[in-house]
Structure 1
């Protein structure tokens, strides 16, 4: 039963997105067809750069725990492992990094600890971005007072119930995993300078990510809000997707949140088209960067990475 819950969650999340915004899809498709192709290409290129540099920050997190495997090696392993997040449960993107860490000279216990530190720094960076953007974007703050239509409210409620069910079913396993990962953090000496550098890098990349979202909106609409608005939208959408427990990559959930937030200041069809295009471009960028790792001093055939999905934590 638990396996079926894991496998069904992504389908349920995407299905709810289609139900909630189904009436907007024809107009959204028409809007996407008329989007500026050059700006879409620029956003794609920017997301490729973002993906690579985001992966490279893991080496700073490892340095903060006393390990220095080399930035290129750590980046390549991060990228190859990240694709595993699409497996049911959403944990394999992290688990495969722990399993494969000895290949770059990092102990598995240290790798596990680095994942906790990385998550905390990433959540902090996106939260700061969303908060600063919200403070600086009065129009969005006023827009949030307006409630979405009934269909979106129902979808949000169902997603909330589904998330609660997953947490209740897996609460023991989740708690043991968190405690186990935190143990090495207590045992190792930290290098604050490296961790602060990692946080600053994450925050800078989050701002760059929001700027790319702004460019994407310009591909659909001739006028755009300020960067603070998109910092809030991007930050809040990321957090919404991250805390959608069990949904790989927050797919469906993140798009619903972004479409609703964008819909505060633009027609909903365009908001839906932008949210879906944003996901599609990010997936294309991730796959392109993944392919690039096999052109730059490949470590092993890709099939070995899949072994992580069968390894025990």
Structure 2
């Protein structure tokens, strides 16, 4: 992104984050008695515990996808242990202001493993494109009427957005590998396999996130499959608001806005806040695993 646009974009993202946090806080103050009465502490703790384990499994899949992309676009010699540990150890950094420090930490770790700067940056861009493409694809299951009023104008354009993202993936991937046919062994086969494997990991991550959220959501009428497009839309919103630390505030506001009309605003707010706790606990757990598990590849 040009430097002239970086600062305004971050300011806009920070402003949206503050607005979303303010909305969530305002609704919590208004609905606190109802939210507190929704579930007893034992039920909340057990639900969050199960959700944390499931969401952590999704986090492991994200780390595996990062390894697959590094192998496909940077170096086939990078080991799974090294790449996965680097990804896990960087996760907590996304909660720092700016929402970029986890990317920087992963980049530094990959450079320490001997990978070149440009291929690692290429893998990071590919990761973002694939994640957004998968999230947009999954959001298609949500009818236009299920979107907030401010977002319904996007519904007719979803197919165009999806085709555009996959077109970017194809162009990006072709340009990346065109000049590296001789640099990587089995470039096309390994590269395509890596991208497809990463895409499968991202699809599975969103599915596990929906299952984890279901452990917290007191709405028998909705199962994990029905929650999947909502989770994808909320993740996408948090990802696209540049500068929002881990999507903080943005995803909670979207969850309340999307699920409130379906199950009640207090129930949606309760689940959104509990889910934020789950994601933080999961990132902390993965960070500890990344720190404690030795890297035998060295």
TM-score (norm. length: structure 1): 0.73
**Pairs within 5 Å for 1:1-313:** 5=11, 9=15, 11=18, 13-33=20-40, 35-68=43-76, 69-131=78-140, 133-134=141-142, 142-144=145-147, 187-189=179-181, 191-217=191-217, 220-221=218-219, 223-297=220-294
Q: How far is the alpha carbon of 1:17 from its aligned partner? A: 2.4
Mark the CA change 1:26 to 1:193 in structure 2 (over 3 Å): closer, same or farther: same
Question: Which stretches in structure 2 are left out of the alignment for 5+ residues?
Answer: 1-6, 152-173, 182-187
Q: How far is the alpha carbon of 1:73 from its aligned partner? A: 0.6
Mark the CA change 1:20 to 1:228 in structure 2 (over 3 Å): closer, same or farther: same
Mark the CA change 1:106 to 1:38 in structure 2 (over 3 Å): closer, same or farther: same
Question: Which stretches in structure 1 are left out of the alignment for 5+ residues?
Answer: 136-140, 148-152, 157-181, 300-313
Q: How far is the alpha carbon of 1:22 from its aligned partner? A: 3.5
Tell me the distance in 1 between the aligned counterparts of 2:13 and 2:96: 8
Mark the CA change 1:30 to 1:78 in structure 2 (over 3 Å): closer, same or farther: same
Does the CA-based 8 Å contact 1:17-1:253 persist in structure 2? no
Mark the CA change 1:134 to 1:16 in structure 2 (over 3 Å): closer, same or farther: closer
Q: How far is the alpha carbon of 1:187 from its aligned partner? A: 4.7
* Larger deviation, residues 5-14 vs 25-34: 5-14
Does the CA-based 8 Å contact 1:52-1:75 persist in structure 2? yes
Cα root mean square deviation, aligned: 3.1
Does the CA-based 8 Å contact 1:7-1:89 persist in structure 2? no
Mark the CA change 1:187 to 1:12 in structure 2 (over 3 Å): closer, same or farther: farther
Tell me the distance in 2 between the aligned counterparts of 1:67 and 1:259: 42
Mark the CA change 1:19 to 1:79 in structure 2 (over 3 Å): closer, same or farther: same
Give the number of aligned pairs: 259
TM-score (norm. length: structure 2): 0.76
